[in-house]
Structure 1
C-alpha cells in the first residue's frame, strides 16, 4: 500500500478501473460497516462484532465467509450481492488525517497508488478537463462522507451495547454437507437472552436513541448465516465436480 494525499493537479491523469473495485473484497471474510448500513446489509449478510487486533475496540462487520480470507459472495468477477458495503465501494480511496504542523486537525482525501484499481487503462477519471471534480470523484466523496459521519454513531451504538452487556462471544459449530466440521471463532453477537431481560426504561432509552432498530437489524441478519452455509456447500460441490471432470 502506498497512501498519498490526493492532489487534483498532481493526480489529474490518474485513471481508475471500476471493474476491479469489488475484487479487493474477494479475500475478505469480514468487512467493516457503519450503523447507517445495517438495514441494507441485513438483507445479505450476518452482522457480527469483532475486536480490533491492535486497539481491542469492538466494531461491526458483515460476515462474508466461513473461513479466513474467504468471501463466498465473490463470483470470480464481482460480488454477487445486491448491496456492496461502503468500505468496498470507496476503494482505492481512504480518509487520512492532516498532520502537517501548520494544518488544523482535519480529514484529507488519500489514494492508494499501489491499488490494482489504479490503472492507466481505467475508464474513470479523478477530475474533468476543466479541473473540477469528476462525477466519479463526487460519488467517492459522498461514500467517504457517509463513513466519516457514521463513525461516531457506530461508536455510540457499540458503547450502548457494552453498557448493557449485550455483546457475547459466538462460536459457530457447522457440519457441512460433506460431513466436514467447521468452526468460526473470535466473533461476537447480540446476547438475545439478556436483551429480552431488559426493563421498560432500558428499552425506551434504546428506542429514543435509535439503537433499538439497529439491534433488531442485527437479530434479523443473524439468519443470513444459513445463506453462507448454503454458499459454502455449493462451492465445495462445484469444486468436487470440477475435479471429477478433470480426471
Structure 2
C-alpha cells in the first residue's frame, strides 16, 4: 500500500529518508522504468526494452532487473551491484504529484509515507531546522524534474519508432543451468530488419532528432541478457 502526501516543510519538518539499497526497502521488482537520457548510462549494465505501462497502457522504456516477478538480481543485502542505478529507483520514496490550480495541473513533490525508507530517526534529512530544503531534497527535485521531462522524450521516441514501424513484440525464451526454462513476454524491441530497410528520409529524421544513437544503444543492451542469466545461475548455485 502507498500513502502519498504533498511534501510540506511544516508537516514533514522532521522527516528523514534512508537512501541505502536493500531488499527490505521494497526495490525487489523485475523492471525499472528509465527515460532516454539514461540509456547511455544504463545500457552497459541492463537489457533495455519497451513495455506497456500498467497504468497508461503506453510503451515506456524499462530495464530488465530479474527473470521472474519481484526478482531484482542486482540487489542484495550488500547493496546494488551495478554501475548505474535508474532514476526511478533513486527517487523513491518521492514522486511527482499534481494539484489543481486555476484550472491547470501543477506538479508538486509528494512522498510515500508508507515507504519503509521514511522515518524520523535515520537517513537523510528532508528539511533544514528552519524549514529550508536540504541538499538531499534539492537533489531529489533534480531527479524528479529529469524524470518528468524524460517521459515527454520517451513519448517522442516511441512515436518516431512507431511511425517507421521499428518496434516489434518479442518473447524471451531462456534456459538456466538447472534445466529450468523461463519465458518472458510483453516485451518490445527494435526490429533490426526494418531498421536496415529504412529509406534516407527516415534515417535523416531519426538522426536529427537524436534517436539513431538511442536505437543502437538499445540493440547493444540485449547482450546483457547473458549477464542476467549468469547472475541467476550464480544465485541458484549459492542456494544449493
Q: Which moved more, 1:37-46 or 1:167-176?
A: 167-176
- Kindly indicate which of the two structures has a greater share of residues assigned to helix: 1
Decide whether the 8 Å contact of 1:21 with 1:89 is kept in 2. no
CA apart distance, 1:56: 2.1
1:20-169 correspondence runs (5 A): 24=25, 26-99=27-100, 102=102, 104-169=104-169
Report deviation, 1:104: 3.9
Separation in structure 1 between the aligned mates of residue 97 and residue 234 of structure 2, nearest angstrom: 40
Which stretch of the first structure deviates more once superposed, 64-73 or 19-28? 19-28
Once residues 76 and 214 of structure 2 are traced to their aligned partners in structure 1, the CA distance between those partners, rounded to angstroms, is: 29
- In the aligned structure 1, how far is the partner of 2:26 from the partner of 2:16? 20
Contact preservation (8 Å) 2:21, 2:75: no
CA distance in 2, matches of 1:65, 1:224: 12
What's the secondary structure of 2:223's corresponding residue?
helix
Partner deviation per Cα, 1:12-56 (whole Å, 9 max, x = no partner): 111111225775463211101100100001010010111123432
- After TM superposition, where is structure 1 displaced by more than 4 Å over at least 4 residues in a row? 20-25
| Partner Cα distance (1:128, 1:205) in 2 | 48
Select between 223-232 and 13-22 the one with higher mean Cα deviation.
Answer: 13-22
Unaligned runs of 5+ in 2: none
Of 46-55 and 154-163, more deviation after overlay is shown by 46-55
SS in 1 for 2:118: coil
Any conservation in 1 of the 2:75–2:81 contact (CA below 8 Å)?
yes
**Could you tell me which residue of structure 2 aligns to residue 11 of structure 1?**
12
Q: TM-score, normalised by structure 2?
A: 0.95
Q: For each residue in 1:63-96, what CA deviation from the matched residue of structure 2 results, as whole angstroms up to 9, or x when unmatched?
A: 0111111111112242111100000000110101
C-alpha displacement at 1:129, in angstroms?
2.1
Structure 1 range deviating more: 37-46 or 104-113? 104-113
**1:189 and 2:178 are equivalent in the alignment:** no
Alignment-derived partner of residue 245 in structure 1: none
Distance 1:130 1:21 in 2: 31
Tell me, yes or no, if the aligned pair for 1:35 and 1:150 is still in contact at 8 Å.
Answer: yes
Matched positions, count: 239
Shifted more, 26-35 versus 135-144: the winner is 26-35
Distance 1:21 1:125, change over 3 A: farther
Partner in structure 2 of residue 223 of structure 1: 223
* 1:95 alignment partner, SS class: strand
**TM-score when normalising by structure 1:** 0.92
Distance in 2 (CA, whole Å) between partners of 1:18 and 1:3 is: 18
Higher strand share: 2
